[in-house]
Amino acid sequence: MQNCPRCHQPITSKAVTCPHCGTVLKAFGHPGITLHRAMGDTPLCESCTYHADDTCTFPQRPYAKECTLYTDISQPQLKTSQTYAPRRSLLESIKLWCQRNPALLALLGLVAVSFLLALLATA
Ligand code: SF4
Ligand SMILES: [Zn+2]
């Protein structure tokens, strides 16, 4: 049994909101975020990717029975290159950068012009 962080009344670990004061209990699951639950007595951590690669810093590791970050290690992971792999040529990158930073581009142009003028003046 845990206590509500606001009113300190006892609440079940499955509660999403406190039944006494209505506080949303984000740590115990949140609408829209899957709360993974262990089946049986085996903790989730044993089959979790973040336990296997030792990146999990959750205090409930390695005995977590419920976890929102659990990732099944037996499931094939999406590689970052598969989710976001823009293959652009240098020219395309420069074009894109210019489109995104018109102010900076103008500033660079200004600097270049004044540099040229300064060069001409000293010549
Ligand atoms: S993310 Fe959750 S399930 Fe995975 S190792 Fe950490 S506490 Fe365990
Ligand atoms: Zn409460």
Among 35, 36, 29, 26, which Cα is nearest to 5's? 26
CA distances from 61 to 33, 51, 67 (A): 19, 8, 9
pLDDT in tens, 43-52: 999 999 999 9
**Residue bearing the CA closest to ligand 1, atom 6:** 56
| Distance, CA of 48 to CA of 65 (rounded, Å) | 11
DSSP string, 36-47: EE-STTS-GGGG
Specify the ligand 1 atom closest to the Cα of 61: 7
Ligand 1 pocket at CB < 6 A: 44-45, 48, 50-51, 56, 58, 60-61, 64, 67, 69-70
Q: Residue 43 C-alpha to ligand 1 middle, in angstroms?
A: 9
Predicted local confidence at residue 15, as pLDDT: 76
Structure tokens at 96: 């894109």
List Cα–Cα distances, 114 to 12, 40, 107, 110, in angstroms: 69, 73, 11, 6
Rg (the chain; Cα; Å): 27
**Per residue in 4-36, pLDDT tens?**
888 999 888 777 788 999 887 765 545 667 788
- Ion ligand 2 residues within 5 Å by Cβ: 4, 6-7, 18, 20-21, 23
DSSP state of 70: -
